[in-house]
Amino acid sequence: MAKEVHPAPSRSTIHRWLQAAHLQPWRSQYWKRPRDPQFGPKAARILDLYHRTWEGRPLNPGDVVFCLDEKTCIQALGRQKPTQPPAPGKPTRVEHEYSQNGTVIYLAALNMGNGGVVGDFPDANNKVTFMSFMERLLSLEPCRSAPRVFLILDNGPSHDPRTFPARVAERWSKVYLAFTPKHGSWLNAVEQYFSAVERKALTPNDLPSPEAVKDRIRGFEERHNRH
């Protein structure tokens, strides 16, 4: 401003200008420009499924809709000192120093009919482990008896939309896939479940081993399914 205006305006004057223009130049936020030209149609297909509609027609009563995804790189952090429980007027205290003791992958399928979750902990995140998880899901009720099973997925490499539909069609004629737009994984409702896992089961992270992480998530999943 000093180079453009002579004499330079005072700080109070600049404040008034910014306030009048409703500008806050000290604030910033990141955003991602939509790049998928099919964003609208892909998003609409998923939103239709949430309303139990497919290609303009209501789903049959026995059809089921599941949202699938993986939560990767869940760290097991062993704290150098024990976590101290909360006391009157004091929050839980978690030791800042920790050791990294491995990671966990959590696969989950959210039933959009009743909110139930089917979960698993594969050793790797790839096409083979994802297909194995699908086999397990489809062997369980309500998928086993459902006339049609609709699965909502993002564009992850373990279920690449360019190749995964053909592999699924070879195995199951009753399975229909709907992929989120690129950079639109937030449309997948299982992300809300993963958020709850992170906030309610994994925070604070004082879990000294991968098995401790799995036990914590299993417990949360069981309580979630009871309610």
Each residue of 164-210: pLDDT tens digit? Answer: 999 999 999 999 999 999 988 999 999 999 999 999 999 999 999 99
**Separation CA 91–CA 207 (nearest Å):** 19
In order along its 227 residues, the chain shows pLDDT tens digits of 445 667 788 889 888 988 999 999 889 887 767 678 889 999 999 999 999 999 999 999 999 999 999 999 999 999 988 888 888 988 988 888 989 999 999 999 999 999 999 999 999 999 999 999 999 999 999 999 999 999 999 999 999 999 999 999 999 999 999 999 998 899 999 999 999 999 999 999 999 999 999 999 999 999 999 98
Instruction: Determine the pLDDT at residue 4.
Output: 67
Instruction: Determine the pLDDT at residue 157.
Output: 95
Question: Which residues, 6 or more positions from 173, have their beta carbon under 8 angstroms from its beta carbon?
Answer: none
Instruction: Determine the pLDDT at residue 35.
Output: 76
Residue with tokens 């979750």: 117
Instruction: Determine the pLDDT at residue 34.
Output: 66
**Separation CA 77–CA 207 (nearest Å):** 5
Whether the pTM exceeds 0.95: the reply is no
Can you list the domains of the chain with their CATH numbers? Answer: 39-226 (3.30.420.10)
